[in-house]
Amino acid sequence: MEKEKKIHLKRELGYFWVTNFLIVNIIGAGIFVSPKGVLEHSSMNVGLSLCIWALCAVLSITSTLCAAEIGITFPCSGAHYYFIRKCFGPIAAFLRLWTTLFTTAGILASQALLLAEYSIQPFYPGCSVPKLPMKCMALAMLWIVGILNSRGVKEGTWLQTLSTALKVGILGFISLSGVFMLMRGEIANVERLQNAFDAEFPDASQIIEAVFQGYFAFSGGGCFTGVAGELKKPRETIPKCIFTAFPVVTVLYLLVNISYMTVLTPREILSSDAVAITWTERVIPQLTWFMPFAISASLFSNLLINALGSSRVLHLAGQQGQLPLLFNTLNIHSSPLIAVLAIVIMGSIAIIVTNLVELINYLYFVISIWTTLQMIGLLKLRYQEPHLHRPYKVFMPYIFITMAITLSMVLIPLVKSPKMHYI
């Protein structure tokens, strides 16, 4: 008699999928909607702002390589949760799980509302989008994401590939247009970049703020720890994907910013809430109506990926006994259906009842705390378990660099605007 087949999470995600996964997760709304933060805190010094973008890319790669050690050493889905449990015990792991429930709900809700706003905005020219249709659209998008996730990781592969192509296509179009305008040599376009460092230099505190703005635009590189248990050959796949995705994203970000600054003055960039759309209005007005739809469609996969990674954390917590055993169950598509359903319901509640304007800041404040603890955990294991099998070992200074950045993101909000919400 044949043994009964056991349903489990399958290792079926290879190099191409994980590279797409990284690119999709790193390229978020920031580069399309509001890249003005770096320029503003650089005192409108164009040359310095471009240098800060390059620096942020390097800093983000260092933090992602730290996450790579966690994902490769402990190649299970929800590796970041498992790592916290191993380093700091079940109480810290439960707190990590508890905050994951709420941070994920808030992140999913904010992303769904952003997508809904961009999808509906063309139908309300010259005025703000009404809340009711925006929330209904956001709920519909979130539940579509839930259905796709319940069908297994392969079900959304085509959508992720399409989203990657659309994102890279939009950024590539903006980049090449800027390069073309520079090559034409029109005085109005070239002179903005000829004396790029002529503006006054900001003080150290402003430069730090600019770095935080740029670093945020590159965030999301460690997302593969959520699905590490479903990757083929994690030791080989993860580093190759990191060094493929980050150079692509860095070049695109730099060229897009150069293109923005070729077409728009620094003051025009600072006065715009959606720089990509302002750029389109100036260069190709005929496509102004299309750009919001394209941005919304390209960002849909970010919503899909966040739901995917977070459901794996709940699934692992069910295995570890910190959630009911029901969360450990898988459906016939090898998807943790109960975990997916819980994430979608929590996100739906957040969409309906939450004011997300300030919530986003608190969410990333909490995420920075856990990233700091992960870096402390890496150092702790290096000291306590020096002989632990580590197929990949990150360069020690990278851990301290990442810890310094994330610790600053925790301490600066507490010092500058202490609020009970942070406590």
Q: Is residue 422 part of a domain?
A: no
List of residues 6+ apart from 183 with CB closer than 8 A: none
Residue 337 CA to residue 147 CA, distance in Å, equals 9
* Distant-in-sequence contacts of 416-421, Cβ < 8 A, 24+ apart: 421/358, 421/362
116: amino acid identity, one letter: A
Prediction pTM value: 0.79
Q: Which two tokens stand for residue 322?
A: 């910190």
Q: Which two tokens stand for residue 216?
A: 């945020």
Model confidence at 405, pLDDT cuts 50, 70, 90, reads confident
Q: Is residue 1 part of a domain?
A: no
For residue 315, pLDDT beyond 80: no
CB atoms within 10 A of CB 284: 13
Mean pLDDT along residues 186-202: 66
Residue 119 sits in a domain of what CATH number? 1.20.1740.10
Q: Which two tokens stand for residue 351?
A: 């969409």
Residues 380, 381, 386, 391, Cα dihedral to 10°: -140
**SS3 assignment, position 152:** coil
CA-based nearest residue to 155, from 164, 147, 163, 167: 147
Q: Which two tokens stand for residue 264?
A: 């728009």
- Residue 228: phi and psi, rounded to 5, are -60, -30
DSSP per position, 377-408: HHHHHHHH-TTS--SS---HHHHHHHHHHHHH
Domain that holds residue 403: 15-416
Residue 359 CA to residue 398 CA, distance in Å, equals 30
Residue 38 CA to residue 201 CA, distance in Å, equals 13
Q: Is residue 369 part of a domain?
A: yes
Tens-place pLDDT, residues 10-19: 676 778 878 8
Q: Which two tokens stand for residue 103?
A: 């941070």
For residue 3, pLDDT beyond 90: no
Name residue, tokens 């471009």. 50
Residue 53 CA to residue 44 CA, distance in Å, equals 14
Greatest mean pLDDT range, 302-311, 319-328, 371-380: 371-380
CA distances from 287 to 119, 281, 282, 373 (A): 15, 8, 10, 46
pLDDT at 380: 92
pLDDT at 359: 56
Greatest mean pLDDT range, 101-105, 126-130, 132-136, 359-363: 132-136
Mean pLDDT along residues 126-142: 82
CA distances from 226 to 61, 64, 68, 273, 318 (A): 18, 13, 11, 32, 15
The whole-chain average pLDDT of the chain stands at 79
pLDDT at 247: 92
Model confidence at 9, pLDDT cuts 50, 70, 90, reads low
For residue 371, pLDDT beyond 80: yes
- Residue 371: phi and psi, rounded to 5, are -65, -40
* Range 228-261 burial, b when 16+ CB lie within 10 A, else e: bbbbeebeebbeebbebbbebbbebbbbbbbbbb
Q: Is residue 176 part of a domain?
A: yes
For residue 373, pLDDT beyond 60: yes
Is the sign of the CA dihedral 66, 68, 71, 73 positive or negative? Answer: negative
pLDDT at 335: 76
For residue 1, pLDDT beyond 50: no
Query: What Rg do the C-alpha atoms of the chain give, in angstroms?
Result: 22
pLDDT at 62: 92
Contact at 8 Å (CB) between 205 and 290? no
Model confidence at 154, pLDDT cuts 50, 70, 90, reads low
CB atoms within 10 A of CB 200: 10
Instruction: Please count the CA atoms within 13 angstroms of the CA of 377 that sit on its side-chain side.
Output: 24
CA-based nearest residue to 104, from 395, 382, 311: 311
Instruction: Please count the CA atoms within 13 angstroms of the CA of 389 that sit on its side-chain side.
Output: 4
pLDDT at 49: 86
For residue 85, pLDDT beyond 80: yes
- Of 130 and 155, the structure prediction assigns the larger pLDDT to 130
Mean pLDDT along residues 186-198: 64
- Of 198 and 264, the structure prediction assigns the larger pLDDT to 264
Residue 344 CA to residue 374 CA, distance in Å, equals 26
For residue 22, pLDDT beyond 80: yes
Contact at 8 Å (CB) between 230 and 71? no
pLDDT at 400: 93
Q: Which two tokens stand for residue 219?
A: 């965030």
Model confidence at 376, pLDDT cuts 50, 70, 90, reads very high
- Tell me which of 58-62, 140-144, 316-320, 352-356 is least confident: 352-356
pLDDT at 398: 92
For residue 388, pLDDT beyond 70: yes
Q: Where are the alpha helices (DSSP H) in 264-334?
A: 266-270, 275-283, 290-319
Mean pLDDT along residues 36-50: 81
- Of 157 and 218, the structure prediction assigns the larger pLDDT to 218
Q: How many domains are there within the chain?
A: 1
Q: Is residue 421 part of a domain?
A: no
pLDDT at 65: 92
For residue 179, pLDDT beyond 90: no
Q: Is residue 326 part of a domain?
A: yes
Tens-place pLDDT, residues 227-240: 777 778 888 888 88
The percentage of residues in the chain with a pLDDT greater than 70, rounded to a whole number, is 84
